[in-house]
Amino acid sequence: MANDVPRSGINSTLDALPPTVHGRYVPLSVVGEGSSTTVYRAYDVFADRDVALQILRSDPELEPIRRRFLSATRAVIEIRHRAVVTCLDAGETETGDPYAVMELLEGQTLGDYLGRVGRIPWTEAMPLFLEAAAGLGAIHAAGLVHRDVKPDNLFLLGPVDAPKHVKILDFGLLTRMEGSSEAVQEWVVGTTEYMPPEQVLCDPVDARSDIYSLGAVLFRALTGELPFAEVPRNRVLAHHLVSPAPPASWLVDDLPPGLSAIISTALRKDPENRFATVRAVREALERVALGSLPAFEAPPLTHAPDRYEPRGEASSAALRALGGSLAA
């Protein structure tokens, strides 16, 4: 059946495509590239449909990610939620490279959409972020942390100028919740602009880490700006550690009461001061969407002042180093 694959979707550089995987998945074209993986449009010979085939690139430096890739992907196979991309299969290619097979989506990422429109009116953003929060809840319920919540990993479905639904993508950095050895990072991983303090310092992560990132994405979507948009990279990381994010209402004056407080609560430095669960985030967003009164107010700090306390000598040293970069 491989010879019957329609050729219209194949890119012009056939030699650059990997071989068919286990006689079943025939790569047709490159549809995306990340820091560690390449995603192909592929034809599933057995199921007679096109799928997304994600393959971890061969690189000795990716060995720690390689060890987690398959276990994380196989865990995602068990998640069935409308706001999480469906993972269909996972394994290793004939050359030993881990791969994952997912449903093929047609649409655009939130990152692409924001690149065109700048920012989204809050009324349009609410349904999308309510779905994103629900999808993250399903991931957390499975005992997993995404660790790379960002606009490029939120895929929008529906009309190109008026998307209606969202699906969470890319599980290359997925890890187990705090309490597992997998929750501790060996080096800084993630996307600088959306990274919570504990992830910056390679401390253990949990659901509240994804909540911080979701808050940063919501800030970007509603204001058209990032909470911290300074270069070089080490200064952005330092801001995540020690600088309070500005209220979104400073940049957009038509936000409803409570929405800016939701974002500020999600972006608190100390995880104990954030929302405890993504369900709590969703419930707060629902109150805004419904216009419920009284308006959401940021809860009192559990730990005051709000600052991140490192959990070991290595992260303490990293905090001192990065904090010093702001004074340089």
Residues taking part in catalysis: 148
Kindly give the pairing relationship between strand 98-103 and strand 108-109. unpaired
Kindly give the pairing relationship between strand 25-33 and strand 37-44. antiparallel
- Contact between 229 and 236 (Cβ < 8 Å): yes
With b meaning 16 or more CB within 10 Å and e meaning fewer, what string describes 123-157? eebbebbbbbbbbbbbbbebebbbbbbbbbbbbbe
Q: Which residue bears the tokens 């990279």?
A: 233
**Helix runs in the chain, H state only:** 63-77, 110-117, 122-141, 197-200, 207-223, 233-242, 259-266, 278-290, 313-327
Q: Would you give the DSSP letter of residue 86?
A: P
Amino acid at 250: W
DSSP, residue by residue, 1-24: -GGG--STT--S-GGGSPPPBTTT
Compute φ and ψ for 43, nearest 5 degrees: -100, 125
